Amino acid sequence: MPQYVVLQVTLKEKFLGTGSRNLSELEGIINEQASKGYRLHTITTASAQSTGLLGGDRIQATLVFERLR
């Protein structure tokens, strides 16, 4: 029977310029799950406007990891 782990990560876009401020956090989560024997199966994203002062937009990423056999 397949085993899965589902995690959500909020990516914060830079206020000026392009790109995410916390891609290293996302990479760390993927590598952590890989070290536990999981592979990234699916990733979906949804964007939301920033509600904070001087903050960029937010992207909500949902990651599904599948255990390797």
How confident is the model over 29-59, as pLDDT tens digits?
999 999 999 999 999 999 876 665 555 678 8
Number of domains in the chain: 1
What pLDDT is attached to residue 7? 97
What pLDDT is attached to residue 47? 85
Banded pLDDT at 20 (limits 50, 70, 90): low
What pLDDT is attached to residue 36? 97
- 32 in the Ramachandran plot: left (φ > 0), alpha (ψ -120 to 50) or beta? alpha
Q: Count other Cβ atoms within 10 Å, centred on residue 2.
A: 7
Q: Which of 1-5, 15-19, 46-50 is modeled with the greatest confidence?
A: 1-5
Q: Domain of 61?
A: 4-67
Q: What is the pTM of this model?
A: 0.77
